Amino acid sequence: MPGPELTVATNLDRAIDDYLTYLHVERGVSEATIRAYRGDLTDFAMSRGAAARWATGPETAQRYLAARAKRGRPHDPGLAPTSLRRRAAAIRGFYRFAYGEGVIVVDVAAHLELPRQPRLLPETLTIDVVERLLDAAGGGPAVGESGPGASAGDVVTGGATAVSDGEAALAREATGVRNRALLELLYAAGLRVSEALGLDMGDVSLDAGWVRVIGKGDRERVVPMGDIAVQWLSRYCSWPRAGWLASAGLADGATVPLFVTARGARLGRQQAWAAVKAAAARAGLGGRVSPHTLRHSFATHLLEGGADLRVVQELLGHASISTTQLYTHLTGERIREVYARAHPRA
């Protein structure tokens, strides 16, 4: 008669499903985290020997994590330290659940250590460079146009080709206005790009100058935004957003996405990344600039301006202040740089 180890060895996929259901129903973990954990655990389940030996002891999980830690091998680059830590956390949490539920008889989780959390200082931009990036996002009047409300026929005449060129220029301006509004909001409120793209009109008060955000762990926060961001969002909502929605036959309302495409669909993550990358290229910045760079710059500039660390934690939506404290190290580096340049005996 097969022993308990052999019996549970065939149930890895079912155990993973049970664990993810537990996280969703009993722990209230967000859908985004569930998707990430499902991907991590599915990769583990598909690794060599996992289906047959996952419940017999810690060796299977340890070998898997060791293999994923090896970077630079042909066709198997391994995981970055932060990704490896998350995957190890997903696997250890799964094993802790399986042992607690009596699914396995060995406390595998007790033998799995999380890789040390790398303390990488985030990439940030100076205030002047942020302004260059925002200016490069677009939104200025196109050549020959009288303003953002003008149509191609109003500003260009002389045949179908000329009208077509005018329409193309107007479309570029419209996209630039939207992209500028998005980047202004990312920097003004320190939002994650997923938070900004998930906003509906009902989440934004242009009159009061605040935005309501659902962040990681489904935690809600209300973040103020400055006058410049409000001005760009107001301009974008008046034109081209209103026209895009009307062309798509959509009525505006509280549940309609804030950032949309020319067809009225919610703007996607890849499109937002492309907008930032294109602006960085036009501004002559390096390829490492991303939407998150604006969030990092937001936090750094607040702290450099004298903001309280707890306030910055609240604005960023960090669950732990230790995450926010990374920015204090960064501002310390800048203080030393300024000191080295300015002090006569540095």
Q: Which candidate in 38, 216, 235, 282 is catalytic?
A: 216
Asked if 295 is an active-site residue, the reply is yes
**Which alpha helices (H) appear in 104-205, and where do they start and end?**
127-136, 152-155, 160-189, 193-197
With cut-offs at 50, 70 and 90, classify the pLDDT of residue 155: very low
Separation in Å, CA 301 to CA 31, 148, 219, 307: 32, 32, 24, 9
With cut-offs at 50, 70 and 90, classify the pLDDT of residue 75: low
For residue 225, is pLDDT > 80? Answer: yes
- At 235 the pLDDT is 97
pTM beyond cutoff 0.95: no
Q: Which candidate in 192, 212, 282, 334 is catalytic?
A: 192
**Mean pLDDT, range 302-323, rounded to an integer:** 92
**Mean pLDDT, range 167-184, rounded to an integer:** 95
For residue 279, is pLDDT > 80? Answer: yes
With cut-offs at 50, 70 and 90, classify the pLDDT of residue 132: very high
101 versus 331: which is more confidently predicted?
101
Asked if 216 is an active-site residue, the reply is yes
Q: Peptide bond before 291: cis, by omega within 30 degrees of 0? A: no
- At 76 the pLDDT is 60
Place of tokens 């949309």: 260
8 A C-beta contact, residue 304 and residue 330: no
- At 196 the pLDDT is 97
With cut-offs at 50, 70 and 90, classify the pLDDT of residue 148: very low
Residue 71 CA to chain centroid, in angstroms?
24
- At 219 the pLDDT is 87
Instruction: Please provide residue 287's backbone torsions phi and psi, each rounded to the nearest 5 degrees.
Output: -75, -5
Residue-wise pLDDT for 228-275, tens only, equals: 999 999 999 999 999 999 999 999 999 999 999 999 999 999 999 999
- At 73 the pLDDT is 54
- At 122 the pLDDT is 75
Most confident of the ranges 81-85, 156-160, 310-314: 310-314
With cut-offs at 50, 70 and 90, classify the pLDDT of residue 282: very high
**What single letter denotes the amino acid at residue 237?**
C
For residue 175, is pLDDT > 50? Answer: yes
- Rounded distance, CA 341 to CA 33, Å? 44
Instruction: Please provide residue 212's backbone torsions phi and psi, each rounded to the nearest 5 degrees.
Output: -100, 125
Burial 205-238 (b: 16+ CB within 10 A, else e): eeeebbbebbbeeeeeeebebeeebbebbebbbe
8 A C-beta contact, residue 293 and residue 197: no
Q: Which candidate in 24, 235, 277, 292 is catalytic?
A: 292
**Under 8 Å CB-to-CB from 89, ≥6 apart: which residues?**
114
For residue 144, is pLDDT > 80? Answer: no
Asked if 99 is an active-site residue, the reply is no
Instruction: Report long-range pairs for 44-49 (Cβ below 8 Å, ≥24 apart).
Output: 44/87, 44/91, 45/12, 45/13, 45/16
- Rounded distance, CA 69 to CA 77, Å? 9
- Rounded distance, CA 103 to CA 60, Å? 17
Q: Which candidate in 37, 95, 236, 327 is catalytic?
A: 327
Asked if 111 is an active-site residue, the reply is no
- At 289 the pLDDT is 92
Mean pLDDT over all residues of the chain?
86
**Mean pLDDT, range 108-114, rounded to an integer:** 92
- At 116 the pLDDT is 73
147 versus 267: which is more confidently predicted?
267
Report the 10 Å Cβ neighbour count for 270: 8
**Mean pLDDT, range 141-149, rounded to an integer:** 37
95 versus 80: which is more confidently predicted?
95
166 versus 8: which is more confidently predicted?
166
For the chain, how far is it from start to end, CA to CA, in angstroms? 78
Asked if 318 is an active-site residue, the reply is yes
Residue 96 CB-density burial (10 A; 0-12 exposed, 13-18 middle, 19+ buried) = middle
- Rounded distance, CA 262 to CA 302, Å? 34
8 A C-beta contact, residue 234 and residue 206: yes
